[in-house]
Protein backbone atom coordinates (compact mmCIF):
# COMPACT_ATOMS: atom_id res chain seq x y z
CA UNK A 1 0.00 0.00 0.00
CA UNK A 2 1.31 3.47 -0.84
CA UNK A 3 1.85 5.81 2.09
CA UNK A 4 1.41 9.57 2.01
CA UNK A 5 5.08 9.96 2.65
CA UNK A 6 5.92 8.11 -0.52
CA UNK A 7 3.45 10.05 -2.55
CA UNK A 8 4.37 13.45 -1.22
CA UNK A 9 8.07 13.13 -0.83
CA UNK A 10 8.79 15.87 -3.37
CA UNK A 11 6.77 18.43 -1.49
CA UNK A 12 9.12 18.01 1.48
CA UNK A 13 12.15 19.00 -0.53
CA UNK A 14 13.21 22.65 -0.56
CA UNK A 15 13.27 24.22 -4.00
CA UNK A 16 16.71 25.79 -3.65
CA UNK A 17 19.67 23.56 -4.35
CA UNK A 18 21.86 25.50 -1.95
CA UNK A 19 19.48 25.16 0.89
CA UNK A 20 19.17 21.46 1.48
CA UNK A 21 17.11 20.31 4.43
CA UNK A 22 18.05 17.86 7.10
CA UNK A 23 18.32 14.32 5.94
CA UNK A 24 14.87 13.04 5.07
CA UNK A 25 14.24 9.55 6.30
CA UNK A 26 13.46 7.37 3.35
CA UNK A 27 12.95 4.08 5.12
CA UNK A 28 9.60 3.49 3.53
CA UNK A 29 10.69 4.74 0.18
CA UNK A 30 14.02 2.98 -0.04
CA UNK A 31 13.33 0.20 -2.34
CA UNK A 32 15.83 -2.54 -2.13
CA UNK A 33 18.34 -2.45 0.67
CA UNK A 34 18.15 -2.07 4.41
CA UNK A 35 18.25 1.68 5.08
CA UNK A 36 20.39 1.31 8.15
CA UNK A 37 23.11 1.20 5.52
CA UNK A 38 23.21 4.98 5.64
CA UNK A 39 24.34 7.04 2.67
CA UNK A 40 26.58 9.14 4.96
CA UNK A 41 29.18 6.37 4.97
CA UNK A 42 28.79 5.80 1.25
CA UNK A 43 29.10 9.50 0.56
CA UNK A 44 32.71 9.54 1.63
CA UNK A 45 33.75 6.19 0.29
CA UNK A 46 32.32 6.16 -3.22
CA UNK A 47 34.46 8.03 -5.68
CA UNK A 48 33.19 7.86 -9.21
CA UNK A 49 36.55 8.31 -10.86
CA UNK A 50 37.52 4.97 -9.31
CA UNK A 51 34.70 3.07 -11.06
CA UNK A 52 36.51 0.13 -12.60
CA UNK A 53 33.83 -0.49 -15.20
CA UNK A 54 34.91 2.55 -17.21
CA UNK A 55 38.43 1.16 -17.41
CA UNK A 56 37.10 -1.83 -19.34
CA UNK A 57 35.76 -0.20 -22.52
CA UNK A 58 35.48 -3.41 -24.52
CA UNK A 59 32.96 -4.77 -22.03
CA UNK A 60 31.18 -1.41 -21.70
CA UNK A 61 30.71 -1.44 -25.45
CA UNK A 62 29.15 -4.89 -25.37
CA UNK A 63 27.02 -4.15 -22.32
CA UNK A 64 25.61 -0.89 -23.69
CA UNK A 65 25.67 -1.57 -27.41
CA UNK A 66 22.56 0.02 -28.93
CA UNK A 67 21.14 1.42 -32.13
CA UNK A 68 22.19 5.05 -32.02
CA UNK A 69 20.86 5.91 -35.46
CA UNK A 70 17.48 6.90 -34.06
CA UNK A 71 19.21 9.24 -31.61
CA UNK A 72 21.21 10.82 -34.43
CA UNK A 73 18.06 11.42 -36.48
CA UNK A 74 16.47 13.01 -33.41
CA UNK A 75 19.55 15.21 -32.85
CA UNK A 76 19.32 16.37 -36.48
CA UNK A 77 15.69 17.30 -35.95
CA UNK A 78 16.68 19.32 -32.88
CA UNK A 79 19.46 21.08 -34.80
CA UNK A 80 16.93 22.15 -37.45
CA UNK A 81 14.29 23.21 -34.93
CA UNK A 82 16.33 24.96 -32.28
CA UNK A 83 19.77 25.90 -33.55
CA UNK A 84 20.41 29.27 -35.16
CA UNK A 85 22.26 28.54 -38.40
CA UNK A 86 23.87 25.35 -39.66
CA UNK A 87 25.38 22.66 -37.50
CA UNK A 88 28.78 21.39 -38.62
CA UNK A 89 30.89 20.90 -35.49
CA UNK A 90 29.54 18.73 -32.67
CA UNK A 91 30.95 18.00 -29.22
CA UNK A 92 30.14 14.84 -27.27
CA UNK A 93 30.63 15.16 -23.52
CA UNK A 94 31.68 11.97 -21.62
CA UNK A 95 31.82 10.12 -24.94
CA UNK A 96 32.74 6.72 -23.48
CA UNK A 97 33.64 4.27 -26.23
CA UNK A 98 32.95 6.74 -29.04
CA UNK A 99 29.92 5.12 -30.70
CA UNK A 100 28.53 8.51 -31.75
CA UNK A 101 31.94 9.86 -32.77
CA UNK A 102 32.28 7.04 -35.26
CA UNK A 103 28.84 7.45 -36.84
CA UNK A 104 28.22 11.21 -36.84
CA UNK A 105 30.81 11.89 -39.59
CA UNK A 106 28.70 9.68 -41.91
CA UNK A 107 26.01 12.33 -41.56
CA UNK A 108 28.48 15.04 -42.56
CA UNK A 109 29.40 16.35 -39.09
CA UNK A 110 32.83 16.98 -37.61
CA UNK A 111 32.90 15.47 -34.14
CA UNK A 112 35.02 15.84 -31.06
CA UNK A 113 34.50 13.86 -27.88
CA UNK A 114 36.10 13.77 -24.48
CA UNK A 115 36.01 11.52 -21.45
CA UNK A 116 37.56 11.32 -18.00
CA UNK A 117 38.69 7.72 -18.42
CA UNK A 118 42.02 7.24 -20.15
CA UNK A 119 41.02 3.69 -21.08
CA UNK A 120 37.87 4.98 -22.81
CA UNK A 121 39.88 7.60 -24.71
CA UNK A 122 42.48 5.07 -25.88
CA UNK A 123 39.77 2.65 -26.97
CA UNK A 124 37.92 5.39 -28.86
CA UNK A 125 41.11 6.56 -30.59
CA UNK A 126 41.64 3.05 -31.87
CA UNK A 127 38.01 2.76 -32.92
CA UNK A 128 38.15 5.99 -34.94
CA UNK A 129 41.43 4.93 -36.52
CA UNK A 130 40.00 1.52 -37.50
CA UNK A 131 36.96 3.26 -38.98
CA UNK A 132 39.33 5.19 -41.25
CA UNK A 133 38.35 8.59 -39.88
CA UNK A 134 40.88 11.41 -39.87
CA UNK A 135 41.30 13.97 -37.08
CA UNK A 136 39.29 16.54 -38.98
CA UNK A 137 36.28 14.18 -39.07
CA UNK A 138 36.40 12.72 -35.55
CA UNK A 139 38.67 13.20 -32.59
CA UNK A 140 38.75 12.21 -28.92
CA UNK A 141 40.66 13.74 -26.02
CA UNK A 142 40.92 13.32 -22.29
CA UNK A 143 38.95 15.79 -20.21
CA UNK A 144 36.73 16.41 -17.22
CA UNK A 145 33.25 17.74 -17.96
CA UNK A 146 33.58 20.05 -14.97
CA UNK A 147 36.01 22.29 -16.77
CA UNK A 148 37.02 21.07 -20.25
CA UNK A 149 37.21 24.10 -22.53
CA UNK A 150 38.03 23.92 -26.25
CA UNK A 151 39.70 26.70 -28.23
CA UNK A 152 37.34 26.42 -31.19
CA UNK A 153 33.61 26.67 -30.49
CA UNK A 154 30.98 24.06 -31.45
CA UNK A 155 27.57 24.48 -33.08
CA UNK A 156 26.00 21.77 -30.93
CA UNK A 157 26.83 19.36 -28.12
CA UNK A 158 25.26 16.40 -26.37
CA UNK A 159 25.73 14.14 -23.35
CA UNK A 160 24.03 10.73 -23.24
CA UNK A 161 22.79 8.09 -20.81
CA UNK A 162 22.86 10.21 -17.66
CA UNK A 163 26.64 10.66 -17.83
CA UNK A 164 26.14 14.18 -16.51
CA UNK A 165 24.91 12.57 -13.28
CA UNK A 166 28.51 11.72 -12.41
CA UNK A 167 28.82 15.38 -11.46
CA UNK A 168 27.08 15.27 -8.11
CA UNK A 169 27.99 18.59 -6.47
CA UNK A 170 26.10 21.80 -7.20
CA UNK A 171 29.34 23.73 -7.78
CA UNK A 172 30.62 21.19 -10.32
CA UNK A 173 27.32 21.18 -12.20
CA UNK A 174 27.36 24.99 -12.39
CA UNK A 175 30.98 24.93 -13.58
CA UNK A 176 29.97 22.40 -16.21
CA UNK A 177 27.25 24.61 -17.68
CA UNK A 178 29.50 27.68 -17.56
CA UNK A 179 32.13 25.67 -19.44
CA UNK A 180 29.59 24.47 -22.01
CA UNK A 181 28.47 28.04 -22.68
CA UNK A 182 32.10 28.79 -23.54
CA UNK A 183 32.32 25.71 -25.77
CA UNK A 184 29.21 26.56 -27.80
CA UNK A 185 28.67 29.46 -30.13
CA UNK A 186 25.73 31.78 -29.53
CA UNK A 187 22.53 30.19 -30.83
CA UNK A 188 24.03 26.69 -30.46
CA UNK A 189 22.30 23.89 -28.57
CA UNK A 190 23.24 21.33 -25.94
CA UNK A 191 21.19 18.11 -25.67
CA UNK A 192 21.32 16.52 -22.21
CA UNK A 193 19.92 13.03 -21.59
CA UNK A 194 19.14 12.46 -17.90
CA UNK A 195 16.48 10.89 -15.72
CA UNK A 196 14.81 13.02 -13.08
CA UNK A 197 13.78 11.73 -9.70
CA UNK A 198 10.43 9.94 -9.68
CA UNK A 199 7.75 11.72 -7.71
CA UNK A 200 6.99 8.38 -6.07
CA UNK A 201 10.34 6.68 -5.44
CA UNK A 202 8.71 3.28 -5.76
CA UNK A 203 8.36 4.02 -9.46
CA UNK A 204 12.15 4.01 -9.76
CA UNK A 205 12.21 0.28 -9.23
CA UNK A 206 12.41 -1.80 -12.37
CA UNK A 207 11.10 -5.35 -12.48
CA UNK A 208 14.39 -6.72 -13.70
CA UNK A 209 17.69 -4.92 -13.29
CA UNK A 210 19.87 -7.63 -14.78
CA UNK A 211 20.78 -8.47 -18.32
CA UNK A 212 22.97 -10.85 -20.25
CA UNK A 213 25.10 -10.32 -23.36
CA UNK A 214 26.86 -13.00 -25.34
CA UNK A 215 29.05 -12.11 -28.30
CA UNK A 216 32.38 -13.09 -29.86
CA UNK A 217 33.33 -15.68 -27.17
CA UNK A 218 32.51 -13.15 -24.47
CA UNK A 219 29.73 -13.68 -21.95
CA UNK A 220 28.56 -10.84 -19.73
CA UNK A 221 26.16 -10.93 -16.79
CA UNK A 222 25.22 -7.46 -15.63
CA UNK A 223 23.25 -5.79 -12.88
CA UNK A 224 22.45 -2.06 -12.53
CA UNK A 225 20.34 -1.61 -9.42
CA UNK A 226 19.53 1.72 -7.75
CA UNK A 227 19.36 0.97 -4.04
CA UNK A 228 19.59 4.17 -2.08
CA UNK A 229 18.24 7.68 -2.54
CA UNK A 230 19.70 10.47 -0.46
CA UNK A 231 17.46 13.48 -0.90
CA UNK A 232 19.56 15.69 1.32
CA UNK A 233 22.64 15.38 -0.86
CA UNK A 234 20.66 14.76 -4.06
CA UNK A 235 22.26 11.38 -4.67
CA UNK A 236 21.22 8.11 -6.19
CA UNK A 237 23.42 5.12 -5.37
CA UNK A 238 23.60 2.23 -7.81
CA UNK A 239 24.85 -1.29 -7.19
CA UNK A 240 26.69 -2.36 -10.30
CA UNK A 241 27.84 -5.92 -10.89
CA UNK A 242 29.47 -7.48 -13.90
CA UNK A 243 30.71 -11.03 -14.41
CA UNK A 244 32.75 -11.52 -17.57
CA UNK A 245 33.74 -14.80 -19.11
CA UNK A 246 36.09 -13.78 -21.89
CA UNK A 247 37.27 -16.95 -23.56
CA UNK A 248 37.73 -18.61 -20.13
CA UNK A 249 39.23 -15.50 -18.51
CA UNK A 250 36.93 -14.56 -15.63
CA UNK A 251 36.55 -10.98 -14.41
CA UNK A 252 34.17 -9.89 -11.66
CA UNK A 253 33.33 -6.35 -10.69
CA UNK A 254 31.10 -5.19 -7.86
CA UNK A 255 31.02 -1.47 -7.26
CA UNK A 256 28.78 1.40 -6.30
CA UNK A 257 28.11 4.26 -8.72
CA UNK A 258 27.14 7.58 -7.19
CA UNK A 259 24.95 9.75 -9.39
CA UNK A 260 23.14 13.05 -9.05
CA UNK A 261 19.48 12.71 -8.14
CA UNK A 262 18.02 15.26 -10.55
CA UNK A 263 15.06 17.38 -9.56
CA UNK A 264 13.71 19.20 -12.56
CA UNK A 265 13.35 22.60 -10.86
CA UNK A 266 16.97 22.44 -9.76
CA UNK A 267 18.16 21.31 -13.17
CA UNK A 268 16.31 24.26 -14.69
CA UNK A 269 17.97 26.58 -12.18
CA UNK A 270 21.44 25.19 -12.95
CA UNK A 271 20.96 25.74 -16.66
CA UNK A 272 19.28 29.14 -16.56
CA UNK A 273 21.69 30.66 -14.06
CA UNK A 274 24.62 29.61 -16.19
CA UNK A 275 23.61 30.87 -19.61
CA UNK A 276 21.19 28.26 -21.07
CA UNK A 277 17.46 28.21 -21.72
CA UNK A 278 15.50 24.94 -21.88
CA UNK A 279 13.79 25.10 -25.27
CA UNK A 280 12.48 21.54 -25.55
CA UNK A 281 12.02 18.29 -23.62
CA UNK A 282 11.58 14.89 -25.29
CA UNK A 283 11.00 11.36 -24.05
CA UNK A 284 12.66 8.16 -25.26
CA UNK A 285 10.16 7.92 -28.12
CA UNK A 286 11.30 11.42 -29.16
CA UNK A 287 7.86 12.83 -28.36
CA UNK A 288 7.79 16.38 -27.09
CA UNK A 289 6.88 16.88 -23.42
CA UNK A 290 5.11 20.11 -22.54
CA UNK A 291 7.28 22.43 -20.46
CA UNK A 292 4.24 23.25 -18.38
CA UNK A 293 3.66 19.71 -17.08
CA UNK A 294 5.38 18.25 -13.99
CA UNK A 295 8.73 16.88 -15.15
CA UNK A 296 9.54 13.81 -13.05
CA UNK A 297 11.17 10.41 -13.43
CA UNK A 298 7.76 8.91 -14.15
CA UNK A 299 8.23 10.26 -17.71
CA UNK A 300 11.31 8.05 -18.14
CA UNK A 301 14.73 9.16 -19.26
CA UNK A 302 14.42 12.54 -21.00
CA UNK A 303 16.31 14.63 -23.51
CA UNK A 304 16.56 18.28 -22.48
CA UNK A 305 17.38 20.67 -25.32
CA UNK A 306 19.27 23.70 -24.00
CA UNK A 307 20.01 26.77 -26.06
CA UNK A 308 22.97 29.06 -25.59
CA UNK A 309 21.28 32.39 -26.08
Ligand X SMILES: C[S@@+](CC[C@H](N)C(=O)[O-])C[C@H]1O[C@@H](n2cnc3c(N)ncnc32)[C@H](O)[C@@H]1O
Cα dist from 276 to 32, 78, 91, 93, 187, whole Å: 37, 15, 16, 16, 10
Minimum distance, C-beta of residue 146 to ligand X, in the bound complex (Å): 6
- Closer to ligand X by CB, 144 or 239: give it: 144
- Closer to ligand X by CB, 29 or 271: give it: 271
Q: Which one, of 133, 137, 126, lies nearest residue 57 by Cα?
A: 126
Minimum distance, C-beta of residue 280 to ligand X, in the bound complex (Å): 20
Question: Is residue 4 within a helix (H) or strand (E), and if so which, with residue range?
Answer: helix 4-7
- Closer to ligand X by CB, 166 or 264: give it: 166
Minimum distance, C-beta of residue 91 to ligand X, in the bound complex (Å): 12
Report whether 255 contacts 51 (CB < 8 A): yes
Minimum distance, C-beta of residue 57 to ligand X, in the bound complex (Å): 8
Minimum distance, C-beta of residue 128 to ligand X, in the bound complex (Å): 15
- Closer to ligand X by CB, 100 or 264: give it: 100
Report whether 266 contacts 234 (CB < 8 A): yes
Burial class (CB in 10 A: 0-12, 13-18, 19+), 212: exposed
Residue 71 CB partners (closer than 8 Å, separation 6+): 100, 160
How many CB atoms are located within 10 Å of the residue 135 CB? Answer: 11
- Closer to ligand X by CB, 167 or 305: give it: 167
3-state secondary structure (DSSP) of residue 280: strand
Minimum distance, C-beta of residue 158 to ligand X, in the bound complex (Å): 9
Name the site residues for ligand X (rule: CB under 6 A). 48, 54, 64, 94-96, 115-117, 120, 144-146, 160-161, 163, 166
Fill in the DSSP letter of residue 24. Answer: P
Q: Which residue is nearest to ligand X (CB)?
A: 96
- State the angle between helix axes of 170-183 and 264-272 in degrees (0 to 180), rounded to the nearest 10: 50
Minimum distance, C-beta of residue 95 to ligand X, in the bound complex (Å): 6
- Closer to ligand X by CB, 160 or 228: give it: 160
- Closer to ligand X by CB, 12 or 147: give it: 147
Minimum distance, C-beta of residue 2 to ligand X, in the bound complex (Å): 31
Report the alpha-carbon distance of residue 112 to residue 136 in Å, rounded: 9
* Beta bridge partners of residue 215, listed in sequence order: 218
- Closer to ligand X by CB, 13 or 116: give it: 116
Report whether 254 contacts 240 (CB < 8 A): yes
Provide the edge-to-edge strand list for the sheet that holds 235-246. Answer: 210-215, 218-230, 235-246, 249-260
Cα dist from 43 to 174, 239, 255, 257, 281, whole Å: 20, 14, 14, 11, 31
Amino acid sequence: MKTNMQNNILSEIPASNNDVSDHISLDQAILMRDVSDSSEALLNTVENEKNKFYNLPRYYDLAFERNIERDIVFFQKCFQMYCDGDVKRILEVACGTGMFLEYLPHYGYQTVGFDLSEAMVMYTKKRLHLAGLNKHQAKVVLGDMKDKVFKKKFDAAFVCVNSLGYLTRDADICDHFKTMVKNLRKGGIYIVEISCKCENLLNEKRVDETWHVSKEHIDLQLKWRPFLYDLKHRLRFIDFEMQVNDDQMIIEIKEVHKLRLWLFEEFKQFTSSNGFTIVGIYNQNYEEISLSMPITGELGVLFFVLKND
